């Protein structure tokens, strides 16, 4: 089985922790850093060609997720993408020039546009569209465009933490299986 496509861009190569799981058909280009025990699942694309992308320790980007950023233009620095530690990013999510802080959750098929910040212990629901908004800690946002729905319960937050643990274990099992 062929490995992932990991390639430099303009002399900058991705930096990937030795114990991260990178699926065989993932694509990782340029200024991308992936932390320890993170997992980048099947058909994910991380393209750090115009600004950096950072993925923290134990975070997971599930199947089909695309991560990009806005480059500098009109005198601005653009929008890099930062995904903190212990973050769950669901299947087929689009993250573009956004910040997802530690312990946050982004549901399947959600879209986070440039300038969006998802604070720690916040949740963006499946299918939500967040356009340059701040999703505060402890809140659930849903819809298109996304808006505040409710405060998260302790049970919700515990479930997010348990989900991170499951993905770390699953990623390590895939690393062993695929060699």
Residues 166, 140, 69, 64, Cα dihedral to 10°: 40
Cα distances (angstroms) measured from residue 39 to each of 4, 21, 78, 92: 13, 5, 26, 14
- Residue 111: the pLDDT is 98
Q: How many CB atoms lie within 10 A of CB 45?
A: 17
- Residue 139: the pLDDT is 98
- Residue 1: the pLDDT is 64
- Residue 75: the pLDDT is 82
Domain that holds residue 164: 5-178
Contacts of 83 (CB under 8 A, 6+ apart): 53, 54, 55, 56, 59, 61, 67, 89, 95, 100
Q: Concatenated DSSP letters for 131-171?
A: -S-EE-TTEEEEETTEEEEEEPPHHHHHHHHHHHHHHHHHH
Q: How many CB atoms lie within 10 A of CB 108?
A: 17
Q: pLDDT tens digits for the chain (179 residues)? A: 678 999 999 999 999 999 999 999 999 999 999 999 999 999 999 999 999 999 999 999 999 999 999 998 878 899 999 999 999 999 999 999 999 999 999 999 999 999 999 999 999 999 999 999 999 999 999 999 999 999 999 999 999 999 999 999 999 999 999 97
- Residue 179: the pLDDT is 76
Q: Is the peptide bond before 123 cis (omega within 30 degrees of 0)?
A: no
Residue 138's Cβ-side half-sphere holds a number of Cα atoms within 13 Å equal to 3
Number of structural domains, the chain?
Answer: 1
Distance between CA atoms of residues 33 and 56, nearest Å: 8
Residue among 119, 113, 116 at smallest CA distance from 160:
119
Q: What angle (nearest 5°) sits at the alpha carbon of residue 30, between those of residues 27 and 33?
A: 85
Q: Does residue 9 sit in helix, strand or coil?
A: strand
Residue 20 sits in a domain of what CATH number? Answer: 2.160.10.10
């Amino acid at each position: 089985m062929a490995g992932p496509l990991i390639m430099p861009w303009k002399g900058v190569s991705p930096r990937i922790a030795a114990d991260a799981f990178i699926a065989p058909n993932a694509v990782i280009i340029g200024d991308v850093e992936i932390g320890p025990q993170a997992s980048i699942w099947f058909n994910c694309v991380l393209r750090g060609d115009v600004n950096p992308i950072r993925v923290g320790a134990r975070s997971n980007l599930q199947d089909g997720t695309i991560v990009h950023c806005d480059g500098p233009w009109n005198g601005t620095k653009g929008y890099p993408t930062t995904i903190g530690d212990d973050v769950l990013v669901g299947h087929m999510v689009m993250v573009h020039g956004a910040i997802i802080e530690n312990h946050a959750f982004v549901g399947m098929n959600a879209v986070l546009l440039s300038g969006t910040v998802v604070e720690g212990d916040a949740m963006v629901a499946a299918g939500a569209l967040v356009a340059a908004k701040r999703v505060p800690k402890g809140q659930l946002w849903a819809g298109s465009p996304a808006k505040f729905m409710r405060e998260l319960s302790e049970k919700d937050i515990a479930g997010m933490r348990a989900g991170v643990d499951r993905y770390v274990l699953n990623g390590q099992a895939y690393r062993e299986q695929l060699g």
